[in-house]
Amino acid sequence: MELANASYARAPLWRRTNLWDWAYALLIVAAAAYTFGLYHNSMDVYEQGILAGSTLGLIALGWFWKSWRWYFPLSGAVALLAIPLYQHDLARGQQAFWLKYALSSQSAIMWMCTLFFLATGVYWAALLRRSEQLARMGGGLTWSAAVMGLAGLFVRWYESYLIAPDVGHIPVSNLYEVFVLFTLITALMYLYYEARFAARQAGALVLLVISASVAFILWYTFDRKAHEIQPLIPALQSWWMKIHVPANFVGYGAFSLAAMLGVGELLSLKGWLKDRLPSAEVLDEMMYKAISVGFLFFTIATILGAMWAADAWGGYWSWDPKETWALIVWLNYAAWLHIRLVKGWRGAPLAWWAVIGLLVTSFAFLGVNMFLSGLHSYGGL
């Protein structure tokens, strides 16, 4: 089997694709062309470049991860069901039945929150009862939550333009929106590794960090009314935001995933839930893969952030608290990878390191906004 997989990986691209791959690619190209036809007059050359790059990236992701070929179009289809119901009137979000209870951005995101909570409970029931059927149900609920979450972000994007054309923006501009993005990225990365390593039992641990994020979203919504769409402040009115923020949160999601896998590895090594969780070796390998991907994207995000800073403030680096803590996060995981790859460390030390790394990452993500002030203070609670 391994020889067959290796031979498949070395085969030319055209031999590794099938009719469904090309049908998916055609769908993405058609959607991009339609978008360009509608909005090219409002797009500058950078935004046109982002559209082209996103098209290629989405095609590549669908070819690499087959589940993406149905997940992304389905999320888009759910969003497209909502858009005609608005009839160009944002107020219908609280009037039309399907918008109010299912398809408006806020309703879809609340469904996402509910489904993630349910998935967490089902995964834990599966773990404690050693039930493969319940584990599959947990996976299904997680996929459903991810569909509703992405559809909700798509609809929120549309809703921002219904307020006014100059208010419209991609929904990655405040803590509410990026927490939704964070839960989606973490869940999708877990679902990929769950399938790749046949490790459904790990969902009980990984969904805990997602549920914690969902709890924050709910608090932030009902206590601070953060779900209300606001115009972008001048500092965020930049095409850099469209690429810097998503890349950053791939890193945050991967590091959070790795931390929860580290918890699982530590439990397994101590003998707690050892016969229920995947083996320590499998969890260690999943943790390494997640940190590797997260480090790559966090590096890209840091470079993009420096370029954005140079464009906005005239300098690549200013030792702003957010920048300083981003560097601390980067150095932490660079050291983790160095120790594993060069020194050959495995097991409990690196698992503890990944868990502690989540605390460092959490402070860089949220703590800086809460306790420190600087050029990034516009992201505060």
CA angle in degrees (0–180, nearest 5) for 260-352-302? 70
For the record, the structure tokens of 4 come out as 């067959």
**Which two three-digit tokens encode residue 231?**
């115009």
- The single-letter DSSP state of residue 279 is P
What are the angstrom distances between the C-alpha of 333 and each of 249, 285, 287, 337, 355? 15, 15, 12, 6, 12
- Tokens of residue 366, six digits: 């949220």
Whole-angstrom Cα distance, residue 270 to residue 267?
5
What lies within 8 Å, CB to CB, of 269 at 6+ separation is 280, 347, 348, 351
Burial class (CB in 10 A: 0-12, 13-18, 19+), 197: middle
Is residue 168 a contact partner of residue 219, using CB atoms and an 8 Å limit? Answer: no
Name, in order, each residue with C-beta under 8 angstroms of 92's C-beta and a sequence gap of 6 or more.
85, 86, 99
> How would you write the pLDDT of the chain (381 residues) with one tens digit per residue?
444 444 444 566 667 788 999 999 999 999 999 999 998 888 889 999 999 999 999 999 999 999 999 999 999 999 999 999 999 999 999 999 999 999 999 999 999 999 999 999 999 999 999 999 999 999 999 999 999 999 999 999 999 999 998 899 999 988 999 999 999 999 999 999 999 999 999 999 999 999 999 999 999 998 888 889 989 888 788 889 999 999 999 999 999 999 999 999 999 998 888 889 999 999 999 999 999 999 999 999 999 999 998 888 888 888 888 899 999 999 999 999 999 999 999 999 999 999 999 999 999 988 887 777 666 655 556
Three-state DSSP class for 228? coil
Residue 320 confidence (pLDDT): 87
**Tokens found for residue 51:** 């559209």
Quickly tell me which residue has 């070929």 as its tokens: 69
- pLDDT for 368 equals 85
Q: CA 60 to CA 367: how far, in whole Å? A: 35
Please report the pLDDT score of residue 12 as a whole number: 62
Q: Which two tokens stand for residue 248?
A: 């950053």
**pTM, two decimal places:** 0.93
pLDDT value at residue 317: 86
- Dist. CA 48–CA 335, nearest whole Å: 37
Report domain extents, the chain: 18-63, 65-195+202-237, 247-375
Instruction: Give the list of residues 6+ apart from residue 313 with CB closer than 8 angstroms, or none.
Output: 375
Is-contact 197 268, C-beta < 8 A?
Answer: no
Nearest Cα neighbor of 138 from 215, 214, 210, 66 is: 210
Under 8 Å between Cβ of 360 and 332: yes
Query: Cα separation of 20 and 352, whole Å?
Result: 42
The pLDDT of residue 234: 83
pLDDT score, position 274 = 82
